[in-house]
Structure 1
Amino acid sequence: MPGPTLPPFESDHRLPDRVDTVVIGGGIVGASTALELVERGQSVLLCEKGQIAGEQSSRNWGWVRLSQRDPREIPLMIESIRLWHGLEARTGQRTGYRASGILFGCRSEREVENNGAWARHLEGRDSVNARIVSGSELDTLLPGRNLALKGALYSPTDGRAEPQWATTAIADAARRAGATVMTSCAVRSLYLEAGRVAGVVTEKGRVRADAVVLAAGAWSRLFAGNSGVALPQLKVLNTVMRTTPVDGPETALWSDEFAFRKRVDGGYSVASGHENTVDIVPDSFRLARAFLPALRAEWRSLRFRLSSRWGEEAAQARRWRPDEMTAFEQCRVLDPAPSRHALRRSLAALRRAFPIFEQADVVQSWAGMIDVTPDAVPVISGVDTVPGLFIATGFSGHGFGIGPGAGCLMADMVMGTAPVVDPTPFRLSRFHDGSRVRPDPGY
């Protein structure tokens, strides 16, 4: 089943013998890291096993938000929004970014209080101006609604961008700035000397490098494990559809049964507000203890199923030699089938809530695999046991909006410069050093 339509990207064809840094993964975080590094004077190779933004970076909702984030992510998200504002000028291409606001609908007084607590918890922070809206102000923001709400958390500085444009724009800008960007080029393994990174082995040959950044999204755990690095990460499937243009709200909305945001073409990206599918796979049992706190917090929004993913992942080698073909070459683009159940329910609920969507047709649907960690906070970190290896993954459905900031922080870490924000909350070692690891609702 084909995923979203992506703009063409012209790959480089010659693998360099040596670079300062190799970035593994052509999603928004990997592309942003490559752009940051090359603009700071490094030689960079960005390797993508399939196509730029072929997986979750083009399949997400397209939200760029501060609201309802884990407090540990807020400083980095503030930096990301600053970068989003200048991204089109910086890349010379469209990203579709617009600060059009996002609403989190509240059906009950308890939800109003919970969302208000989140806003109060972050009151006084720079760039955080979220507040509860209701009555006529809410009617103005959501014209034509037939949806009973007690209020909504509203952040006018939140916004949206086009996932099918943004990552390609960033990767192309990196290439034009001097980075080598190779698509259909899987990195098979690290190349080590005296226990530290000395380069990588790709399916097309070996490249020497002082540093390697693993930003491979849903594939990061598998790659890390082959290098002896324990990375607790699972995958969650989310389904999205897009519609034909209708004259609907400009402000994006999340509610229990659906979420939407307007697209540049006048249509809408629509998804379930809470429903995610979890395929039971061998890693579900290997990581059950680590993920138990997250499961207790989020179980109502998860639909567990036993599918063909069990057999596919059970058959994947967990260790391999550099001269062996890998799962990364056998699956160039992870393109799961969307959940028809989620599509039907969210579209029906949307049309009840906003009758204008009766005029909209669904023109495409897709699904993507979200890379999640036990505390739903990403890993943006060096690896103590493998000097020269850095990891940027596990963005838990928050990666698109925070991607430019994550790339900036990752570049700081690779180059050893003062970090744009404190990276401590994102350290890989938190999963192994006895730290309290669980999702934080922010209040």
Structure 2
Amino acid sequence: MGPAVDPVPTDDARPDAADVVIIGGGIIGVSAALFLAKKGVSVVLCEKGHIAGEQSSRNWGWCRRMGRDPRELPLIVEALKLWPAMQELVGEDVGFRRSGILYLCRDDSDVAFHEDWLKRAGDYALDTRLIDGEALSAQMPGARRGFRAALYTPSDGRAEPQKAAPAIARAARRAGAKILLNCVVRAIDTAGGRVCGVVTEKGLIRASTVIVAGGAWSSRLCRPLGLRLPQLVVRASVLRTGPVEGGPETAAWADGFAYRKRLDGGYTIAGGALSYHEIVPDSFRYFRDFLPMLMNEWRSVGLRVGAGFVTGPAGLAPALGDSGSVYERHRTLDPAPVPHIDQALRTMEEVFPVLKGVPVLQRWAGFIDATPDAVPVIAPVKSLSGLVIATGFSGHGFGIGPAAGRLAADLATGDAPLVDPAAFRYERFIDGTRPRPTTGV
């Protein structure tokens, strides 16, 4: 079972029409709703389950610039302007703290890898630097294992995933957005080559603009429109511990484990790089798109075959049936965590003996929506007027979420975009560009 998420009230009455309908109540969708409502735009957000029920509450909670694909850097810089202002923006503490983040290096090859990123980041590297020796030890008090060096960004931070998206959603409601929970969008309605609304389980909502921010569901939502959106999901597992006295404040990633301190004094711990992809029909549909990534990252992605090939949300079973749509049958994706997550805790205990014996309060997993180049789509679709896609955040969505939602809102209204959206265009997947990832971090 996933972590407990702060509740958000629902608007029970379905509006007949709105300027914009948003599909998906993760951090991207609720951020878009907030910024649209603040513009005075009539906006309805439809979520099939509850706010942040899937990956937006199940991620590590990192808000990082360090190590990102250079194409994402302008957007994450804007996000890291929004996170410190979030308490004032939404009227609640979402747990954001500039705690700093480390990428720990085992050897000189790791150091060279991060030196290359610093060169490619250029001016966007800002305060990121390589540290070692006493400077590194100061960020890892009590560590019993040494590391060659670390890439360190003091201005990166952390927030609480179970609090952030719900707080943004509540602020959006106060600003005038309608939030419909347990409200499946079964189809996007079109006429004459443009969007004209959405068909929900509660009836039709007319709208001239629809934002698809459905995370792992986005490719399936777009397929009936004749849109090819190459996207696969990988399962990532984490656990959280009880409070620990004397543990590290600075978050870190290493080969085999990653961690960040929580507001309650415990830790969220993950397995570093290892994730799992369950083979489904989309695995074959988009095999050629993802082949370069798989060849580069094959050591960090385990492949599994399971019942989901037929009955899962991306399986062969039809989208509509006697029991409703596939979205109603899977209101909240709640995959089981994999056993290797306990090895991550054991490894961390070896590095930080202060964690030995700390109770594990919960384990969970979530589905990360990935694109072939590990860069999101945040873009209007040229072939279908009124449709904006905001998906494929490839494990980077939480930290970049507030700025990504604001950019989606700008694109939905035709306002000047927060950043140049060219790197996030949908058409790169269908015009022969053959996008590739540029970083393995």
Indicate the TM-score class for this superposition, using the shorter chain for normalisation.
Answer: over 0.9
Contact 2:43–2:178, Cα closer than 8 Å, also in 1: yes
Q: Which moved more, 1:222-231 or 1:433-442?
A: 433-442
One-letter amino acid of the structure 2 residue matched with residue 90 of structure 1? L
Report deviation, 1:301.
0.3
SS of equivalent to 1:4: coil
Q: Deviations over 1:174-224 (max 9, x none)?
A: 011101001000011112221211111100011111100000000001111
What does residue 208 of structure 2 align with?
Answer: 210
User: In structure 2, what is the equivalent of residue 198 of structure 1?
Assistant: 196
Q: What is the CA distance between 1:123 and its match in structure 2?
A: 3.2
**What TM-score, normalized to structure 2?**
0.97
**Aligned counterpart, 1:244:** 242
- In structure 2, what is the Cα distance between the partners aligned to 1:92 and 1:189? 34
Residue aligned with 1:139, SS: helix
**Cα deviations across residues 46-97 of structure 1 (Å, max 9, x unaligned)?**
0000000000000000000001100000000000010111111110112100
Q: In terms of mean alpha carbon deviation, does 427-436 or 367-376 score higher?
A: 427-436
CA RMSD after TM alignment = 1.5
CA distance in structure 2 between the aligned counterparts of 1:220 and 1:416, rounded to whole angstroms: 22
- Corresponding position: 1:172 with 2:170: yes
Greater mean alpha carbon deviation, residues 22-31 or residues 346-355: 346-355
Partner of 1:292: 291
Matches of 2:418 and 2:21, distance apart in 1:
21
Match of 1:371 among 364, 369, 372: 369
Any residues of structure 2 matched to 1:68-107 within 5 Å, and which? 68-107=67-106
Name the residue aligned to 2:252.
Answer: 253
Alignment of 1:257-336 (within 5 A): 257-313=256-312, 314-317=315-318, 325-336=324-335
Task: Report the equivalent of 1:395.
Answer: 393
Matched, 1:7 2:6: yes
Structure 2 equivalent of residue 154 of structure 1: 152
Contact 2:378 2:404 (8 Å CA) reproduced: yes
Conservation of the 8 A alpha-carbon contact between 1:26 and 1:51: yes
> Which residue in 1 is equivalent to 2:35?
36
Gaps of 5+ in 2: none
Q: Contact conserved, 1:258 with 1:273, CA < 8 A, in 2?
A: yes
- When residues 338 and 442 of structure 1 are mapped into structure 2, their CA distance, relative to the original with a 3 A threshold, is closer
> How far is 1:436 from its partner?
3.8
Partner Cα separation in structure 1 for residue 364 and residue 66 of structure 2: 25
**Contact 1:118–1:442 (CA under 8 A) maintained in structure 2:** no
* 1:434 paired residue number: 432
Is 1:358 the counterpart of 2:356 in the alignment?
yes
State whether residues 69 and 442 of structure 1, in contact with CA within 8 Å, keep that contact through their aligned partners in structure 2.
no
> Which 10-residue stretch deviates more, 185-194 or 372-381?
185-194
The structure-2 alpha-carbon separation of the partners of 1:214 and 1:224, relative to structure 1 and needing over 3 Å to count, comes to same
**Counterpart Cα distance in 2 of 1:317 and 1:69:** 37
For the residues of structure 1 that align with 2:332 and 2:106, how far apart are their CA atoms?
A: 39
Structure 2 match to 1:114? 113
Higher mean Cα deviation, 73-82 or 381-390? 381-390
**Residue aligning to 2:408:** 410
- The alpha-carbon deviation at position 310 of structure 1 amounts to 1.5
* Structure 1: gaps of 5 or more residues: none
Choose the corresponding residue for 2:143, options 142, 145, 149. Answer: 145
Q: Is 1:223 the equivalent of 2:224?
A: no
Q: Quote the Cα distance in structure 2 between the aligned partners of 1:145 and 1:286.
A: 46
For 2:317, give the aligned amino acid.
Q
* Aligned-partner Cα distance in 1 for 2:287–2:86: 39
- Give the Å deviation of 1:148: 2.4
Aligned partner of 2:17 in structure 1 is 18
Residue 360 of structure 1: how far off its partner (Å)? 1.3
* 1:62 to 2:61 alignment: yes
Aligned to 1:140, the other structure's residue is in SS state helix
2:134 alignment partner in structure 1:
136
Moved runs in structure 1, 4+ residues, more than 6 A?
Answer: none
The answer (yes or no) to whether the contact 2:281–2:316 under 8 Å persists in 1 is no
| Contact 1:66/1:128, CA 8 A, preserved across alignment | no
How far the C-alpha of 1:383 sits from its partner, in A, is 1.1
Deviation at 1:120, TM superposition (A): 2.8
Q: Secondary structure at the match of 1:207?
A: strand
Would you say the 8 A contact 1:123–1:129 is kept in 2? no
Residue identity matched to 1:400: F
What is the CA distance between 1:397 and its match in structure 2?
A: 0.2
Deviations 1:393-428 (A, max 9, x none): 000000000000101111111111111111011001
Secondary structure at the aligned position of 1:116 is classed as helix
Determine if contact 1:66/1:158 at 8 Å carries over to the other structure.
Answer: yes
Does structure 1 conserve the Cα–Cα contact (< 8 Å) formed by 2:54 and 2:366? yes
Amino acid at match of 1:66: R
**1:422 & 1:63 partners in 2: Cα distance?**
24
- What is the 5 A alignment of 1:334-349? 334-340=333-339, 342-349=340-347
Partners of 2:401 and 2:173 in 1: how far apart? 18
Instruction: State the Cα distance separating 1:324 from its structure 2 match.
Output: 8.6
Shift of 1:442: 8.4
CA displacement at 1:274 relative to structure 2: 1.1
Percent of aligned pairs sharing the same letter:
50
Partner residue, 1:124: 123
Q: Secondary structure at the match of 1:351?
A: helix
Q: Report the 3-state secondary structure (helix = DSSP H, G, I; strand = E; otherwise coil) of the residue aligned with 1:19.
A: coil
What is the aligned length?
Answer: 438
Secondary structure (helix, strand or coil) at the match of 1:123 reads helix
Q: Specify the code of the residue in structure 2 equivalent to 1:398.
A: H
The CA distance in 2 between the partners of 1:353 and 1:241, in whole Å, is: 17
Q: Which residue of 2 aligns with 1:424?
A: 422
- Is this contact kept in 1: 2:258–2:270, CA < 8 A? yes
The worse-fitting range, judged by mean Cα deviation, of 168-177 and 345-354 is 345-354
Output the amino acid matched with 1:135: G
Deviation, 1:147, is: 1.9
1:333/1:442 Cα in 2 relative to 1: closer, same or farther (>3 Å)? closer
